[in-house]
Structures are given as structure tokens and as C-alpha cells.
Chain A
């Protein structure tokens, strides 16, 4: 079976234990406004344009010729731009581009190809108790492929982790259970209307799935992205903490600090970044802010990472 991924990253050290390889899946049912991987959201191919790499249409211009829809046009100065209205996302321009100026976000790979590739770092996983983490996007968006890949990884006796929104039918998660060692799941907001506002869907399915998952004796890491003014209010965090402790019976949460590192990718995709006005949380300047938030969880008897 073939699946769509947009990147594979080796020596990933923040998504599960040890040294890991991160496999990024295309497609996601949510649309978090702070998403740092916007190229993951659509299941369709998209063209990313990195202008600074372009050697100039006068010297090259291969993409202009290759485009059947006249979507690629010469820009004043040396580069090109994509008229996204005209673009059919066929990717021909990126195929002829002699460097990385134009890139297709879709990479078609089989589970076997991915497994072969991630096995290159087997010695590093073994030494560090690391393994493979499926991320995205939402890996479960390509459920059958995800399941096949997890089975293949488990056959190689690798430690597997999955970063999922848990926004799917429980029966799907259930099918994964034998092949996943660690679930990394965000709780983005405890209020369903707020969740819908910023993420596009309500939270009830996610929370229900979390409750069911917590009964399965699987390792779960709950992550809370801290977004200024959106979900970092005292009551929301305290509510989240109580849920984690009382409903899920877990002992810790991980705080992820909001950053804007994905912003450039929005520009490269011709998309608008909606959170421009929100300041990233900076551990040095926002010490007090962070401490206060960590304390909310500690007061409930939770460890904070």
C-alpha cells in the first residue's frame, strides 16, 4: 500500500524517548490556527515556493514552460510566483525545478520503503531506547496505511509512538493498540465551543477517546500547547489538569510552548497565517507566566515537563 508523507526526520529528540525518526503524514481533520506544519493539513499535493532559492526565470524558467495552466508567472525582479487560483497542484513545475525552489509536499511511499529507511538508524534506537514516531498531520487520516506501517515497524521490534489528535472513531484507535507503545496526544481546549472556534471541530470525541484509551494500559503523554489568550487561562488549564488526573488517571502533562516557526511555510504555500498578532511564549521573558501555569498542574499533583 502507498501512503502520503511530507517529511522524514532523523535524530528527532523531542517526540518520545531516545533518538527517534519522525515520519510526517499528510492530511489532518483539524485545522489548528497555530499549526506549525501547514503543509500537512491537506491530503492533496501542494506546491511550496521558496523564492530565495530561485536562480531566476531569465536563467531557468523551466517551471513556467512546464505549467499547463499558466499558474507560474514571472515576477518583477528575478523570481516567479504561483497564481494559486490557476494552479491545479499537479506538481509538474516542482518536478522540473533544478533545485528546491518549488517543492511538492506529497511524497508517495510504501510502508516497506519507510520501514527500510527508518531501519538505517536501528543502532541509534537500540543505544538510546529510541524508535519511530508517526506524526503529521494526523497519521490516522490515512488509517489503513498507518496501520500497515505500524505493523511493519512492530515486526522489526521497534519502539513506536504516534502523535495523534485522537479525533477519529474509537474502533480505529483500538485496532492500533497492539502496535503502538506510546500515544502523544494534545488537549488543546476543554471548552467545546472554543475548541470548535480555533480548531474547527468540537472536543468531545477526543476526550471520549482519551478516556477509553486510558483504560488500555498504554503509555500516554498528554501535551498542552500553550497559546497566549486562547487556551492559557487559569480555569481552562486547571480544568485540563483535573481531567488528566481524575478522568485519565495520569501523573504528568507536557507543556508545549507556542512558537511561530511554521509561519514561513504558510507564506511558501500561499496561505494566510491567522495568529500573526499572538506573541510566542519565551521561557526567559515569560518566566513568571510559565511558572504560574506550571503551578496550576503541580497543585493538582501532576508532574509538568
Chain B
């Protein structure tokens, strides 16, 4: 690079075709990954201590200044490191995979879990914590307890919303206990212009402010704070430059010495000034990604269309022979390991809702350009390669697929999925664009969408959308609907009537009565979740506005209003409805068994439900035999459509606290599990406590007519209105996807799903471990078919010996 003597990989000169499925990482990358994974998740108290000191010094200052000064102090004082052999530098916590603490959002659960239910003994996502750390965290306890975003929000939430939260009709744990995440800022703005130029713009705008603007004071404060945040970034990057220089001086290995001096050069230049090379562009990107996540613990900070905004740098370096294709891949793989190094602790209840989601730094390949052309380029394939080569759970990777994208992009995406990563997810450009247009997004912006977090469409650099603002349990609404607004579970008795009076099942004369009652409950709780989200929103504006995203989400700087206060072009709030398919199955079962075939009376069924099926086991089995959503049966699929649409209509377009609107989503992350625990027995034969359906996927094991039928059922739901995203998870045994033929069959099936209006599809290529789980929990895997020529049988129906046989086969088929 420049100096031709040194190269990033020994075989830099060998030809490299990004379309070939070469998922073998270099020795450096392999070591980088191993080094990161050799660390345990640990709690890092540094940030908590620094912000406390800073906050104490700024008690009476405007909140934007307090946030800016705290950020400056953190970036100046926190531990930094450069890992052996890494090419991209910049770290969150003091060690890889450790998590900082963000006490300003909520602190009581930290103290509670630390003292009463040790972090290292958590079932999900355990953390090591040293005695020294504990002491440090205890020492700031008095400053925070009772004074956090959580405490303030909770004190403002009215009693009826609190009882809805207590009965788990909906949940807002994500943003009430943590920072606002789920956005994609304009990384390209930082990379192309450099922060110094943004600082200049801010100073210009500040000097031109209209003295008669009633918000003059707020705007000046915002601009001053924004400048401090840029200065903080400069201090931060220069610290790495210095560290790299020091290390270079001591380094004896000439190759590494050269790398370290290049790193120092890079960090001296970016993110303050425009990147001059692909390496610098990546370094600039990474500094922004790190700083956002030090400033706030909001998760799902999504890099967006990486293959697009990085492309000019890649192309230029390749064309002018600054780097080879293999070196470019090495740099991409390098930053993938950095993305995989991040960790953020969440409270146990929030972890249950978001488990396995890692940090959800969602990053895309493919799709359309702003002008509506195929946007695929070499980087689109290389970013997918990088996930295959690093095999870490971050970044969460997605492919955007429009009818204009080439089949080779599908092919690459499917091959990466076959590695068993559960990634990339597939997104339908045509439907996504419709979703956004329907929410008032401009056409070119809509074509430029990126996916945030799990499945949320967003316009990068222009949107602050509070995706994942809450989960809303639709099956619980049905439970309340047939029980006059009371939870059926005796343990919620103390809360009395949580919902609205709608009568009890025995009083209902037709399925329309049941549907009507469901609608009333959904409508009531939709208002409550909207109200609760807006309360939280105002509290975040008052107590924890953020600055770095405000620099890079337009037109905040132009308007002098930060993202937290509605400075973005597009402002949304997006709570998710879950358990659509359970509601559909229940309505079909009640309609079939009670009203149509009259095999059971409404009173009898009601009694059975109250008894959690105890003593009614035969009825439970019979109810479960009614038609199920996910089998391409128009009768029951219509109930699914109804269940979803009812929720979406109640949420969509309601005003939010930033001048924008609410938009509904239909996906659970992992909230279907904790929500299932608190939902009583349901008419589809489900017992109290059993997990709910995953997204708009059919209920586990109920889609017994194969993947094409499931795809058709799910496509019947109105995806366009659910503009905060829908989620379909499908499991395939590798035998169904083997070889090129298998790729093509999957692609063709997914294309039909997209044509019919489906939005997202994610495949789990079943692993041996999953099959072992299926042996233990056959009810979850009833529909899993092992596909062999001329043979039909379901995995769970095979005896243990044969199942073991298949598990053994599965281990090598992928």
C-alpha cells in the first residue's frame, strides 16, 4: 500500500473472485476471531464512573451540554487498546466482549442483579464481574438510584398502563431501561466530508442564527454541544494514533511495524478529515460506530448500506492498485471482527425479549440505487463473504433483493446461509419501498432504504425511528377479550380488570362477537402503548439526548435540532404486535369447534381454558386439530390477516413526540418466549406458559404442508401496512437445499413469496444441535421434514435411533 514492500496478506497477488464461495479466512483474521472469542463477557465499570464524575460537575447546565461534556470525558479517559495484529482500531469496553454500564438510563436492575441474582449465573448472556468493579458500581449508586430515565418515565406512566405492563399485555422495557438505538446514521457524511467540515458548518450556522427565533437558546446550546462532541472524537482518534505510533516504535517485526505506522497515519486523519483510502474509510466508519455506542447503549446501531457508501473507496484503491482484491477482503474481514467484538449488557427481562439478537448491527448488500437501478457491486459479494469467513454473530447481515438484482447475489446469500449462520436474511425491495412510500417517504429515499436491527426498514442518515419501542401481545388481547377484560391466570388477580369489559366466551353467539371483543381490547391497549412510548420519548428528550447521531442524521445540523428532539427528516415510533398466528389458530378453532361444527359449547370450552385444559385433555387435542395458519388454507389465513390488520390499524399514523408518526411491526425478536410464559391457555390447544409464534411465522410445528404452503399463508398478511417490519423464520433441513439445485429451489420459492407480497425471510438451515433439541422438544419441530427421494416422514415421528442417524448425517451435509 503506497510502499509496495508490505502487503496485508501474504497471497495478496493471487486472483480473487468475490463470486466464488471461498469462506476460508486469512491467518490474521482467524487469530483475530480466536482472540476475541477467548474473552468472557465481563462488566466494565469505567464509563459509569466517568459519566458520574462528569454529571456531578455539570449539575446546572443544559442537558445537551452535560451530555457533550460527559462524552468528551469518556472518550478522553476510557481505556483504549489495540489488539495483536488488528488493522482497524477502536474499542467499546476495556476488553473485547465486555460491556460498559450506562447508569443514566436505569440503575436499579444493575444493583439488584449484582447483589441478588449474580450476573455470572444468568441463564441467558451471563457476565463476569470482579469485586473491584462491584465496589465501583456501588460507589455511584446513591447518585443514580431514583434519578434515571427509567425512574422518571415510570413515575409518569398512569396506573392503567402500569397494570397492562404488569399483566404483560405489552412491554416497553427496551427504551425505558436503555438508550435509543435502532438507527443508521449517515456514515458516508463522516467518511466523505470529515467531522472537521461538519464542525465548520455548525459554527457557520450558529453565527447565522436568527436572534428572533424563539428557540435561539436551545439551538445555540445544541450547536455548542455538537462541537464538543466533534472535539471529543478528535481526542479519541488521536489517542489511537499515539498508541499505534508507540507500539510501532517498540515493534521488531517489520510487517507489523509497517501496519502500526499505517494505523497511526489513518487515525491521525480520520474521522476528522475526508478518507483517502479504503482502509481509512473503514477506520472512519468504525470510529463513528464505536463512539455512538459509547455515548448511549441503544442497541441495533446498524451500519446500513455498507456495500454502497464504501464502494467509491474500494473502487478507487483497486483501480489505482493501492490494494489487491485479497487485501480489500482482509480489511472488510477485519472490521467484521471489530463488529463482533461489541457487547452491551441488558437487564434480564430485556435480555429474554432480545436473546440471541446479539447487537443487531444490521448491514446490507444489494438492492436498488436511488435512481432505481441494480446496486449490486463487488462489495455486495465481499461483505457476504466476510460473514462466511469470520462466522461471528455480528454484524447481522441482510440482502436486499429487488427483481433487478442478479441471481448470483441470491446464490451467494444462500451459500452463506448454508454455513449454518442463520444469515443473511432476505428482504424484498419492492414491498419495502411500498411500505416506506405509504408512510410519506420520498421515492428516492425509499429506494435507498436500509434495514435496522432485526427487520426494520429505515432511510439511512435521515431517520430516527424508535424501532422496537415495545412488544404487544395479541394473544393476551384475545385472552382478555373472552374473559371480560380480566387475565385468566389467577396470579394476576390482584390487578383486577386490566382491559375493557367485552363479556365472556359463554356469552358470545358467533365468531364475529369474539372478533369484535378482540378488536376492542387491541384498540384499548394500542392507545396505552402509544401513550407510554410518548411519555418515554419526552423523558429521553429531557434527560438523555444524543449528539453523534445528530451530526450524521439530516437535517439536524441544518435545523439546529438534535435527533432526540425530532431533528431528523423522518420520525417514527414502532411497537411490534406478536402472536398473529396464535390468534388466527384460536379464532379458527373456536369458529370450527364451537360455532360451525358445534362439537363443544362455548361454556365448556371456556371452562376448559380456565382449567388450563386439566381434565379436558381430549378437548385440548381436538381444538388443536382445527385448521392452522401456515398451511395455505384461505379460511384460517383470513383470521391471520384480520389479527394483524386490527393491530396495525390501531397503531399506524398516530402522532409521536417528535412530530412524526407511529408505525406497526409484526415481529417478536425473542419476546414470544417471555410473553408466552405469561399468557394463559388458548383455544388452539396451547397450554398456559408455552411460547408464542415467532413473528408472522406459523405456530411452531403447525405448518405441516411444507414451506411453499407456509410462504403462501404468510404472504396473505398485509406486509405493506406493517411498515416497521415483519419476520418469517423458516427451518430447512440441509437435505432440502443441497447443491446448486437446492440453491435454485430455495431462491425460486422465495421469489414467489416476494411476488405475493412477502417482506422478509430468514432461513435456519437445521443443524445437528437443533435436531437434538427437536428430540427433546418435538412439539416445536412437528413440521420438520427430512427430504430424501421418494420418501415422506417427519423428523419427530422417527424413533430415537433413526433420529440419531439423521443427526449424524446432518453434521456433514452442510
Contacts and interface: CB of A to CB of B under 8 A. Distances in A.
B52 to A, nearest CB: 57
A148 to B, nearest CB: 22
Contacts of A120: 632, 708-709, 712
A163 B708 contact: no
Given A9-B706, A9-B785, A223-B789, A62 B618 contact: yes
A124 B798 contact: no
Range for the number of chain A residues in contact with chain B: 35 or more
Interface string A74-102: 00000000000000000000000011000
Contacts of B208: none
Interface stretch (B32-40, B488-496, B745-753): B745-753
A22 B790 CA distance: 8
A205 interface: no
A15 B790 contact: yes
A262 B788 CA distance: 11
A55 B787 contact: no
Contact of B802 (A15, A56, A135, A264): A264
Contact of A124 (B708, B799, B801): B708
A163 B792 CA distance: 14
A261 B786 contact: yes
Nearest to B801: A263
Given A124-B748, A263-B799, A282-B808, A98 B622 contact: yes
A36 B618 contact: no
Contacts of A10: 705-709
Interface stretch (B223-231, B411-419, B564-572, B736-744): B736-744
Contacts of B801: 263
Contacts of B791: 36-37, 259, 261-262
Contact of B749 (A19, A52, A223, A265): A19
Nearest to B706: A10
Interface string A155-191: 0000000010000000000000000000010000000
B247 interface: no
Contact of B789 (A55, A59, A256): A256
Contact of A265 (B707, B788, B793): B793
Contacts of B112: none
Contacts, number: 120
Contacts of A36: 788, 790-791
Contacts of B755: 123
Interface string A23-56: 0100000000000110000000000001010011
Interface in B785-814: 785-793, 797-799, 801-802, 805-806, 808-809, 812
A283 B738 CA distance: 13
A260 interface: yes
B618 A60 contact: yes
B594 to A, nearest CB: 16
A143 to B, nearest CB: 20
A163 B712 CA distance: 27
A11 to B, nearest CB: 4
B624 interface: yes
A135 B787 CA distance: 14
Contacts of B742: 13
A11 B790 contact: no
B787 A14 contact: yes
B778 interface: yes
A194 interface: no
B283 to A, nearest CB: 43
Nearest to B623: A98
B632 A59 contact: no
B255 interface: no
A12 interface: yes
Contacts of B155: none
Contacts of A56: 617
Contact of A18 (B617, B745, B751, B778): B745
A284 interface: yes
B601 interface: no
Contacts of B788: 14, 36, 259, 261
B793 A55 contact: no
Interface in B298-349: none
B793 A127 contact: no
Given A7-B792, A18-B745, A18-B748, A99 B632 contact: no
Contacts of B707: 10-11
Contacts of B438: none
A283 to B, nearest CB: 7
Contacts of B805: 259-261, 280
A144 interface: no
Contacts of B786: 261
B117 interface: no
A192 interface: no
B617 A60 contact: yes
B617 A55 contact: yes
Given A99-B624, A283-B812, A261 B617 contact: no
Contacts of A280: 805
Contacts of B58: none
Interface string A237-278: 000000000000000000010011111110100000000000
Binding site secondary structure of chain B? helix
B11 interface: no
Interface in A272-297: 280, 282-284
B787 A12 contact: yes
Nearest to A36: B791
Interface in B733-775: 735-736, 741-742, 744-745, 748-749, 751-752, 755-756
B625 interface: yes
B792 A9 contact: yes
B706 A50 contact: no
B79 interface: no
Contacts of A223: 789
A128 B736 contact: no
B720 to A, nearest CB: 20
B621 interface: yes
A128 B746 CA distance: 9
A62 B748 CA distance: 45
Given A37-B790, A261-B798, A121 B622 contact: no
Nearest to B782: A100
B809 A282 contact: yes
A15 B712 contact: no
A259 B741 CA distance: 22
A124 B618 contact: no
A264 B621 contact: no
Contacts of B785: 9
B789 A15 contact: yes
Contacts of A99: 621, 624-625
Contact of A284 (B749, B799, B812): B812
Contacts of A14: 735, 787-790
A123 B805 CA distance: 35
A56 B621 CA distance: 12
Contacts of A13: 736, 741-742, 745, 787
B170 to A, nearest CB: 33
Contacts of A50: 797
Interface in B673-691: none
B446 to A, nearest CB: 26
Contacts of A282: 808-809
A11 B730 CA distance: 13
Contact of A59 (B618, B709, B793, B798): B618
B808 to A, nearest CB: 7
Nearest to B778: A52
Given A11-B706, A120-B632, A282-B809, 14 more contacts: A10-B706, A14-B788, A19-B745, A52-B778, A60-B618, A62-B618, A98-B622, A98-B625, A99-B621, A127-B752, A163-B790, A259-B788, A263-B799, A263-B801
11 contacts: A11-B708, A11-B736, A14-B789, A19-B748, A60-B618, A62-B618, A99-B624, A127-B751, A128-B745, A261-B798, A263-B799
What 4 A-B pairs have minimum CB-CB distances, sorted nearest first?
A: A98-B621, A10-B706, A128-B748, A14-B789
